[in-house]
């Protein structure tokens, strides 16, 4: 198969021919039809993810067609159109048994713990517990965009932050996660505020439901600006970027008893950011992480997509080839693209 491959961190990946994967006993092989490019892939390539063993094939936001199944797989067959959350649970540990496969103790992550989907084929383990059948009406590139950023945002907004209609939701960073969070919060009847340093991204956020925007480049006091707009602070705030500044502002701009959700990854030098803990205590703030979403929760998200309340296809930016994904991956930390880039040509 053709795949993107690297044998050293920070070294430009190559496109090369590798052996086709074979399924594990409880796994499948999927022919990749579309796979999204994500900041986590850049973190992995930089060497920030301890799960990655070299050499490596990245890619974790995928959709495609099952081409082979292991003997133990009962629920999926060759020809099925599927996607998968970027964290697949083992199905056996305590977290999986409690329904929290997204924090499984033995998790399978394509593109991190195993070779991923920047390739013609990808092997996925624990298939029965984690694959999701795609509705016929959903195309592969939209489905690929769900696996990481959209689903993680859905869990962050709907499940972790428990956003309700009428609440103010501040979203720091308008990349794929942030724009998804704005769309989902608006669909739940909340009032999202978009915060970014790009006017173009803020304008896009308004088309997806943001009722107000703050440009961090023109504003000395981002938290103050959010408090002003919301009359005292946001009920919910999300750091969708993953940076010490956005993390701090996201907690700082909350009203009393507000909820912060950290979705943007904090890795490398950013792993232990400063947090205004006195405010967390005095104002009884709630601090959450959000790490993917369980396959069994996809039904709620897919039904909102089927009804048109959520339109993740609006978040898709460029469609690119596997070759074009190489420069896109290595420059991801400086990316100015609007929306999600998806590889659709292999
Ligand atoms: Zn598990
Ligand atoms: Zn991702």
Helices (H), 148-221: 151-154, 176-187, 199-207
Domain extents in the chain: 2-148+293-343, 151-289
Fill in the DSSP letter of residue 295: G
51 touches 112 (CB < 8 A): yes
**How far apart (Å, rounded) are the C-alpha atoms in residues 66 and 61?**
16
Closest ligand (CA of 62):
2
CA of 91 to the centre of ligand 1 (A): 5
Beta-strand pair 168-172/234-239: parallel
Phi then psi for residue 123, to 5 deg, are -95, 135
Cα–Cα distance list, 176 to 36, 75, 98 (Å) = 10, 31, 29
CA of 325 to the centre of ligand 1 (A): 32
CA of 256 to the centre of ligand 2 (A): 32
The CATH superfamily label for domain 151-289 reads NAD(P)-binding Rossmann-like Domain (3.40.50.720)
E strand or H helix that includes residue 44? helix 39-46
Digit-by-digit pLDDT tens for the chain (346 residues) are: 999 999 999 999 999 999 999 999 999 999 999 999 998 899 999 999 999 999 999 999 999 999 999 999 999 999 999 999 999 999 999 999 999 999 999 999 999 999 999 999 999 999 999 999 999 999 999 999 887 899 999 999 999 999 999 999 999 999 989 999 999 999 999 999 999 999 999 999 999 999 999 999 999 999 999 999 999 999 999 999 999 999 999 999 999 999 999 999 898 888 899 999 999 999 999 999 999 999 999 999 999 999 999 999 999 989 999 999 999 999 988 877 777 899 999 9
pLDDT score, position 340: 87
E strand or H helix that includes residue 15? strand 14-17
CA of 217 to the centre of ligand 2 (A): 26
CA of 243 to the centre of ligand 2 (A): 16
CA of 104 to the centre of ligand 1 (A): 4
Fill in the DSSP letter of residue 155: I
CA of 245 to the centre of ligand 2 (A): 21
Closest ligand (CA of 126):
1
Closest ligand (CA of 104):
1
304 touches 313 (CB < 8 A): no
pLDDT score, position 165: 98
Closest ligand (CA of 98):
1
3-class SS letters over 194-210: EEECCHHHHHHHHHCCC
E strand or H helix that includes residue 260? strand 254-262
CA of 149 to the centre of ligand 2 (A): 5
DSSP state letters, 57-91: ----EEEEEEEEE-TT--S--TT-EEE--SSBP-S
CA of 72 to the centre of ligand 1 (A): 17
Class of domain 2-148+293-343: alpha beta
pLDDT score, position 51: 93
CA of 217 to the centre of ligand 1 (A): 42
pLDDT score, position 108: 95
Question: Which residues are bridge partners to 14 per DSSP?
Answer: 5
CA of 35 to the centre of ligand 2 (A): 10
**How far apart (Å, rounded) are the C-alpha atoms in residues 283 and 218?**
28
Closest CA relative to residue 174, chosen from 62, 48, 263, 44: 263
Residue 240, SS3 per DSSP: coil
75 touches 131 (CB < 8 A): yes
């Amino acid at each position: 198969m053709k795949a993107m491959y690297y044998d050293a961190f920070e070294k430009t990946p190559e496109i090369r021919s590798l052996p086709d994967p074979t399924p594990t006993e409880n796994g499948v092989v999927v022919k990749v039809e579309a796979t999204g490019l994500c900041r986590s892939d850049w973190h992995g390539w930089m060497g920030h993810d301890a799960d990655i063993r070299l050499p490596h094939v990245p890619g974790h936001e995928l959709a495609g067609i099952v081409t082979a199944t292991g003997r133990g797989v009962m629920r999926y067959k060759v020809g099925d159109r599927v996607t998968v959350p970027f964290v697949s649970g083992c199905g056996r540990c305590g977290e999986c048994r409690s329904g929290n496969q997204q924090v499984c103790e033995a998790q399978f992550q394509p593109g991190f713990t195993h070779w991923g989907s920047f390739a013609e084929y990808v092997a996925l383990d624990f298939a029965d517990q984690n694959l999701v059948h795609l509705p016929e009406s959903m195309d592969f590139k939209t489905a690929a965009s769900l696996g990481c950023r959209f689903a993680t945002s859905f869990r962050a907004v709907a499940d972790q932050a428990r956003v309700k209609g009428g609440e103010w939701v501040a979203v720091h960073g308008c990349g794929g996660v942030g724009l998804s969070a704005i769309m989902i919060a608006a669909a739940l009847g909340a009032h999202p505020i978009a915060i970014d340093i790009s006017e173009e991204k803020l304008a896009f956020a308004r088309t997806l439901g943001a009722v107000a925007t703050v440009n961090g480049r023109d504003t000395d006091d981002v938290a103050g600006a959010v408090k002003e707009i919301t009359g005292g602070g946001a009920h919910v705030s999300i750091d969708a970027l993953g940076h010490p500044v956005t993390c701090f502002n996201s907690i700082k701009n909350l009203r009393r008893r507000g909820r912060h959700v950290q979705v943007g990854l904090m890795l490398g030098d950013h792993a232990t950011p400063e947090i205004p803990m006195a405010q967390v205590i005095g104002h009884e703030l709630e601090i959450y992480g959000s790490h993917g979403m369980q396959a069994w929760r996809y039904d709620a998200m897919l039904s909102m997509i089927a009804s048109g309340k959520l339109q993740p296809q609006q978040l898709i930016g460029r469609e690119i080839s596997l070759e074009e994904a190489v420069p896109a991956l290595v420059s991801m930390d400086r990316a100015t693209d609007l929306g999600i880039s998806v590889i659709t040509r292999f």
